[in-house]
Amino acid sequence: STGCHVVACIREAGNVDLHGTRVVVFRHESSGDLILSFRGTKTGKQVWTDLMMRKINVCLDDFLAHPHTKDGQTTNASHIEDMLTKGEITKVRLLDLLPKIGEELPIYLKDARKSGHNVSGMGRIHFGFWSSYNRVRRQIHNIVREELLARPGRLLLTGHSLGGCQATLCAYDMSRWVLPTVKRQMISLHAYNRAQLDSLQISCYTFGSPRVGGPSFAYAFKQVVPDAQRVVCDGDVITSGPPVYWGYYHVHHENIIDFTGTIRVEPSLIEKKFSLKKRNNPQSHFKETYLDVVKKSFSPHMSEEDLLRLLKKKYGLKEE
């Protein structure tokens, strides 16, 4: 038993499945942690989402999309969303569903309070990741606020592959909007003590996550979500993209686990060059591979001889 119970299973708004985004919300009984787990790439829609690599401008202050579209049209995202959910329209541009600066605020932000982080300007974010996260954003805000008010605790965001990218965006969003709002509500209701307020922290642990956006977003994310760990299985090809020469940068902190369970925290360029694999192995990205190496990192039940044989096999060295 993991000691968790399922709080909610989140699908896209109105069950109109444009990206195939899925989120499961858990509560860990003993610690009180509220855990959001985002599903990785599994369906054709999610593969298509991964391939939407053009970037969109997002305001790092409000965490809303820039209003200007290529053809100069602007729309009210909340109105379009409601029409789609009610079945009044069946075809819609994904861009029209994104809340934008200058529109009426989405209902889940109208009574919300932002954090005091000093972030501003525009960040460039992968369109598919941003669009797919926004398809479940309203439900996440509502559920997380309700759960943390009922039982304050740490909020933990996690996911594998595409799910890791969505968890990264969600962590920024929760730290920027939801945690400050919950703290304000607790204080206004006089339903808190100092320990409960202090327990409202946020962590983001992702596995096999590609790059999410440009350098401005990566820098802002480091400020807004200091407790972030990006776990990479040695050789994972998916974590090498989208490429840096397209303007994509990884968020912090990188932890690379090899096939022995050895963890390298924020490895240097020299370590990556000479002691780690090139990131060209699709098998290293499989969820089962991550489960295997993470388990080994906790309890590597093998002798020195077995460990040596495993190292030689995985790194292409000949047996003596």
Q: What is the pLDDT of residues 85-107, one digit of tens each?
A: 888 888 888 999 999 998 889 99
Q: Quick one: what percent of the chain has pLDDT higher than 70?
A: 93
The predicted pLDDT at position 73 comes to: 57
The predicted pLDDT at position 314 comes to: 64
Nearest to 211 by CA among 237, 185, 176: 237
Residues in contact with 91: Cβ distance below 8 Å, sequence separation at least 6, in sequence order:
none
| pLDDT 10s digits, 205-225 | 999 999 999 999 999 999 999
Q: In which band, very low, low, confident or very high, does the pLDDT at 310 lie, cut at 50, 70 and 90?
A: confident
The predicted pLDDT at position 312 comes to: 74
Question: Given the DSSP bridges, would you call strands 155-160 and 202-207 parallel, antiparallel or unpaired?
Answer: parallel
* DSSP bridge partners of 58: 65, 123
Which H or E run contains 6? strand 4-10
Residue 115 scores a pLDDT above 60: yes
**Mean pLDDT of the residues in the chain:** 92
Q: What is the DSSP letter of 178?
A: I
| pLDDT 10s digits, 253-304 | 999 999 889 999 999 999 999 889 999 999 999 999 999 999 888 776 667 7
With beta carbons less than 8 A apart as the criterion, state whether 139 and 13 touch. Answer: yes
Distance CA 14, CA 83 (A): 10
DSSP 3-state helix, strand, coil percentages of the chain (rounded to 5)? 40, 20, 40
Distance CA 142, CA 119 (A): 24
| pLDDT 10s digits, 44-90 | 999 999 999 999 999 999 999 998 655 555 568 888 988 888 888 88
The predicted pLDDT at position 298 comes to: 79
Query: Taking the model in full, what pTM does it have?
Result: 0.92
Distance CA 66, CA 314 (A): 46
- Six token digits for residue 200: 């409202």
Residues in contact with 205: Cβ distance below 8 Å, sequence separation at least 6, in sequence order:
156, 157, 158, 228, 229, 231
Residue 22 scores a pLDDT above 70: yes
